[in-house]
């Protein structure tokens, strides 16, 4: 049992204090985890000065804050060299830097408040051997669930479906301004707002916007990740490919390139980016026939008519 004291001893200084550090600067686990709260592991510590010219080039050519609506749909980021000498050049760090920079306020700073945008990031640490486009889509769906953009979009939709007076009362509940109060059903009820009716109104709004009924219900209720898990017998989303448990892959492209696009657009997102890292692990095992099939499927999801993503030029991929 932990002994609690009303007068705890002061915390001793870190052994790294004499070096001007508050903790060991190197993480015990050297693998980057975008979803970690530790800035040493999640990619937020990034020295921009040595690569400022590359940041500026990436921003102007690919992010295009001054011409967001006309940004290119597909681009490649690579380093000169072969499989070995082309590694360690900072491509992954640069992608993660821009993901953090844009997603910290969903593009508000990046685009001077003119556009709301989101960055999805997928990486393939090991080789994929089948259903390539479906697994790419599923990887992106998992990242979207973890990024927080679904909750932010739900806040926007709840705000838009309330009167200004109701929304302000909820946000400023108990005198503390917090937009996340809009996700708290108890706070809504305390202001005589029925959260069930609110979600029903949003559900209908999403259906009218093009979201499929099942996805609209899950998104309006804030349980989209659970909806994805329901397609797996083990209720898991990772590893991405499990033999004989692939039902979710049958729907992953439709979820990502139709339902999520319609949902984000309903929440007033103007567009986004999908960063695909370590793509060689996705394509290395492709035969000539499967590579042709993948190219056609990729084009269908990114540049050719067929999905909401292409119809609205929503996500740029590189």
- DSSP classification of residue 273: E
- Collapsing DSSP to helix, strand or coil, 307 comes out as coil
State the first-to-last Cα distance of the chain, in angstroms, to the nearest integer. 52
Mean pLDDT across 264-284: 88
Total H helices, total E strands in the chain: 14, 3
Which residues partner with 271 through β-bridges? 117
Supply φ then ψ for residue 184, to 5 degrees. -95, 105
Which pLDDT belongs to residue 12?
57
What local confidence, expressed as pLDDT, does residue 7 receive?
A: 53
Q: Beta strands of the chain (E only): which ranges? A: 117-123, 271-277, 315-317
CA distance linking residue 184 with residue 158, whole number of Å? 11
pLDDT (tens digit per residue) in 197-254? 999 999 999 999 999 999 999 999 999 999 999 999 888 887 676 667 889 999 999 9
What's the whole-number average pLDDT of the chain? 86
pLDDT at 280: 78
Which residues fall within 8 angstroms of residue 211, CB to CB, at 6 or more apart?
Answer: 219, 258, 259, 262, 263, 266
> If we measure between CA atoms, which residue out of 105, 101, 147 comes closest to residue 122?
147
Paired with 273 in beta bridges are 119, 316
Compute the distance between CA of residue 50 and CA of residue 175 in angstroms, rounded to an integer: 44
Q: What is the structure's pLDDT at 46? A: 76
Asked if pLDDT for residue 161 goes beyond 50, the answer is yes
What is the mean pLDDT of the segment spanning 20-45?
74
Paired with 315 in beta bridges are 272
Query: Which pLDDT score is estimated for 1?
Result: 42
């Amino acid at each position: 049992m932990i002994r609690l004291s009303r007068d705890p001893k002061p915390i001793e200084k870190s052994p790294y204090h004499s070096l001007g550090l508050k903790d060991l600067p190197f993480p015990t686990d050297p693998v980057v985890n975008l979803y970690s709260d530790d800035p040493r592991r999640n990619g937020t510590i990034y020295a921009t000065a040595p690569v400022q010219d590359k940041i500026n080039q990436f921003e102007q050519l690919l992010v295009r804050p001054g011409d967001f609506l006309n940004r290119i749909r597909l681009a490649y980021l690579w380093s000169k060299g072969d499989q070995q000498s082309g590694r360690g050049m900072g491509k992954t760090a640069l992608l993660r830097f821009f993901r953090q920079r844009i997603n910290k306020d969903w593009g508000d700073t990046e685009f001077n408040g003119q556009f709301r945008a989101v960055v999805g990031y997928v990486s393939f640490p090991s080789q994929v051997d089948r259903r390539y486009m479906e697994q790419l889509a599923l990887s992106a769906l998992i990242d979207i669930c973890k990024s927080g953009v679904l909750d932010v979009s739900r806040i926007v939709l709840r705000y838009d479906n309330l009167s200004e007076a109701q929304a302000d009362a909820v946000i400023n509940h108990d005198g503390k301004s917090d937009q996340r109060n809009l996700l708290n059903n108890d706070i809504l009820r305390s202001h005589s707002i029925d959260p069930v009716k609110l979600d029903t109104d949003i559900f209908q709004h999403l259906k009218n916007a093009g979201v499929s009924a099942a996805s609209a219900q899950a998104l309006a209720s804030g349980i989209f990740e659970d909806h994805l898990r329901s397609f797996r017998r083990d209720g898991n989303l990772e590893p991405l490919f499990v033999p004989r448990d692939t039902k979710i892959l049958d729907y992953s492209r439709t979820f990502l390139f139709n339902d999520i696009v319609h949902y984000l657009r309903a929440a007033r997102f103007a567009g986004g980016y999908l960063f695909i890292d370590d793509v060689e692990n996705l394509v290395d095992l492709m035969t000539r026939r499967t590579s042709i099939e993948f190219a056609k499927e990729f084009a269908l999801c990114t540049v050719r008519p067929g999905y909401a993503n292409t119809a609205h030029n929503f996500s740029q991929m590189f």
